[in-house]
């Protein structure tokens, strides 16, 4: 359902053209939870940006269900993104001048939903992430883990086809990271939420159905939870 086909992405840095993704083929099934790992600079965040329609490939195609998002113009892409993609970032990226409830309701308001239905849905999602009573507070009084829960609620409130998470536990201690990962797993299992998560942490990647290892802009290897060599793959990273 989500597909990157022969995707190239290059950036111009001064005189040089730097090729970050090199003929990448990658696909994610509906309802799958995929973790992407790999060295710094290997193109993981770049791929998420392309899957989420925040940027376009230099060549190749990005398909989200039946839509080739690389063929949309910028305005169409923005609308598609607002309706279909949820993002969670390492640094939460909540809007500091808005309450928690307003932050979560924001994507709904941006899609033209009425204030009271937006607030209602926002509060449903706040409850789902365990923050039912926090709606009227401002993000800066929340812990990092709580802020990331708000970010998860905001990312999911639109019931997106695809949730993209770029190192969502990168700023959190182990306990808070576990809470966020449990939460993502919950939405994956109960709502069949499709998730692509970039992480440097094999412990976090262990929550996914499949772990994809990036190197120099292509997939070096990947392993499914059911594969015989899954345990060996994971142990290699623990060492
Ligand atoms: N907008 C841009 N302009 C120029 N170069 C860029 C841009 N975005 C990314 N790059 C370069 O592309 C390469 C891949 O970056 P990317 O952020 O995708 O790596 P990453 O795998 O997410 O790394 P990390 O694990 O450190 O987050 C890097 O060398 C980066 O400097
Ligand atoms: Mg990155």
Q: For residue range 166-215, what is the model confidence (pLDDT) as tens digits?
A: 999 999 999 999 999 999 999 999 999 999 999 999 999 999 999 999 99
Q: Is the pLDDT higher at 234 or at 36? A: 36
As a whole number of angstroms, the distance between CA 60 and CA 24 comes to 9
As a whole number of angstroms, the distance between CA 215 and CA 118 comes to 41
Q: How many residues comprise the chain?
A: 239
Main-chain dihedrals φ then ψ at residue 43, nearest 5 degrees = 110, 15
Read off the pLDDT band of 233 (50, 70, 90). confident
pTM recorded for the entire structure: 0.96
Read off the pLDDT band of 237 (50, 70, 90). confident
DSSP 81: H
3-state secondary structure of 208: coil
Percentage above 70 pLDDT, the chain: 100
Pocket of ligand 1 contains residue 23 by CB under 6 Å: no
Identify the architecture of domain 2-93+160-238 in CATH.
3-Layer(aba) Sandwich (3.40)
Mean per-residue pLDDT over the chain, rounded? 95
- Taking the CA of 16 as reference, the closest ligand is 1
**Centroid of ligand 1 to alpha carbon of 4 (angstroms):** 18
Pocket test residue of 15, 37, 46, 220 for ligand 1, highest count of atoms within 8 A of CB:
46
Domain boundaries, the chain: 2-93+160-238
Pocket test residue of 20, 26, 42, 216 for ligand 1, highest count of atoms within 8 A of CB:
20
| Residue whose CA lies nearest to ligand 1 atom number 26 | 40
């Amino acid at each position: 359902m989500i597909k990157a086909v022969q995707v190239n992405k290059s950036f111009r840095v001064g005189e040089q053209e730097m090729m970050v993704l090199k003929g990448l083929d990658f696909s994610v099934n509906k309802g799958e939870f995929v973790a992407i790992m790999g060295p710094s600079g290997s193109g993981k965040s770049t791929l998420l940006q392309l899957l989420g329609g925040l940027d376009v490939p230099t060549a190749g195609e990005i398909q989200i269900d039946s839509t080739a998002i690389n063929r949309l113009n910028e305005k169409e892409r923005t609308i598609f993104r607002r309706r279909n993609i949820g993002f969670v970032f390492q640094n939460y990226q909540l809007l500091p001048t808005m309450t928690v409830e307003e932050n979560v309701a924001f994507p709904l308001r941006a899609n033209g939903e009425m204030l009271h239905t937006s607030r209602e849905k926002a509060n449903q999602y706040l409850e789902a992430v365990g923050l039912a009573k926090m709606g009227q507070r401002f993000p800066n009084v929340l812990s990092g883990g709580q802020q990331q829960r708000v970010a998860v609620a905001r990312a999911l409130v639109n019931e997106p086809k695809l949730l993209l998470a770029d190192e969502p536990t990168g700023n959190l201690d182990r306990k808070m990271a576990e809470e966020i990962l449990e939460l993502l797993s919950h939405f994956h299992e109960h709502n069949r939420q499709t998730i692509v998560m970039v992480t440097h942490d094999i412990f976090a990647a262990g929550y996914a159905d499949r772990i994809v290892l990036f190197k120099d802009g292509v997939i070096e290897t990947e392993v499914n939870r059911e594969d015989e060599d899954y345990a060996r793959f994971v142990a290699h990273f623990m060492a």
